[in-house]
Amino acid sequence: MGVINSELTSDNAEVAPVVLEQPVKRALPDWSKGVLYFLLSVLMAMGVFAIILLLMGKNPLDVYAQIFDGTLASTYGWSEIVVKMIPFILCALAVAIPARLGLVSVGGEGQIYIGAIFAGFLALRIGDALPPVVLIPILALAGMLGGALWGGLCGALRAYAGLNETISSLLLTYIASLIMDFLVSGPLKDRSPTALGQSYSKTFPDNAALPTFFDSRINLGIVFALLGVVFYWWLFKYTRWGYKMRVVGGNPEAAERSGIKIGRYIIIAMMLGGAFAGLSGMVEVLAIQGRLRGGISNGYGYVGFLVAWLAAQKPGLIIFMAALLGLISFGGDTIQIVSSLPSSTVNILMALILFFVLRDQGLRAMKENK
């Protein structure tokens, strides 16, 4: 608004007011505010983490420099960040899809194991009989089927038995890992003399190996992950299924009154999410491990949970957050070797980032609701 300035002439006659324009203050766009608040949250997390490092007798500046040198300062570091991103993105989708219905799924770990078992079993049985161009899509579908069935079981328990999906998905994770341990210690165990009695399966045929790029460990899984994000965006933006799932997540009571079968969409969402986690398991055993074995996940399902919630289930942000946590995760491997820090140290930094980002999101939501 302008400021009105009135002046009197020498005859004390009032002249027309003069409006003095003031510069208009332009507000930052919402997306730039979000980026700014996120960066501030990360800086606060790094500040608290620096205090923890000091208490552990380490120089924070040296540790952060080691993370940078081991990741962004080398081509190998960049490639390993991309390798880390593959399971992070796929497991984030396993969380984000159910979250659009208000479901909290933490069962990505178990879905990884079941997807790996389905894909690995087929690779051992038919890997030599089919060319890679036919075999790999079949194995991908097998991994997705395994994860979908495991996720769908949680959905069915929620829809028809009223069992909380957070509890069921978490408990089923332990069952899935035990199934893997049983198989690689019994029916699928490699009993050749070269295995030395270790609990793992035979190596997969060469036909089952995923192609790699740029003379690195970056594999076809990154294509699967990016296509998964595109599918996720398309599903909730352009399809009737996605619209109905958003309605269920926004107001279940209104959705039920409008004739939407909520139980059906709960199962569909959990199955779709589980399919992506199962695909991650397929990628892990075929591209990285080369055989079935226990402990293949390395916490990918839980990191995927962090990625999904840090990204607020937004497709583009899922990729960005997966890259950020991929950098932190691989950087943590570096400081574990160079600085002799425990492997769990990097988990503290991830947890701090999640805490400060969610804190910021909560404070902004409270401010908007006032």
The per-residue pLDDT for range 85-126, each reduced to its tens digit, is 999 999 999 999 999 999 999 999 999 999 999 999 999 999
Q: Among the residues of the chain, which ranges form H helices?
A: 30-55, 60-70, 75-99, 108-126, 132-161, 165-185, 221-238, 240-250, 252-257, 262-283, 300-310, 315-338, 345-369
Query: Is residue 67 scored above 60 in pLDDT?
Result: yes
Instruction: Note the pLDDT of residue 4.
Output: 46
Q: Specify whether the CB–CB gap between 226 and 90 falls below 8 A.
A: no
Q: Phi and psi (nearest 5°) for 16?
A: -60, 140
Residue-averaged pLDDT of the chain: 85
Q: Count the Cβ atoms, other than its own, within 10 Å of residue 291.
A: 20
Q: Specify whether the CB–CB gap between 199 and 185 falls below 8 A.
A: yes
Query: Is residue 221 scored above 70 in pLDDT?
Result: yes
Instruction: Note the pLDDT of residue 3.
Output: 47
Domain ranges in the chain are 83-311
Instruction: Note the pLDDT of residue 29.
Output: 55
Report d(CA 86, CA 88) in Å as an integer.
5
Length of the chain: 370
* Encoded tokens for 117: 């078992």
Question: 2 pLDDT band (50/70/90 cuts)?
Answer: very low
Query: Is residue 157 scored above 90 in pLDDT?
Result: yes
Q: Count the Cβ atoms, other than its own, within 10 Å of residue 248.
A: 24
Report d(CA 192, CA 232) in Å as an integer.
43
Locus of tokens 């390993």: 80
Query: Is residue 7 scored above 70 in pLDDT?
Result: no
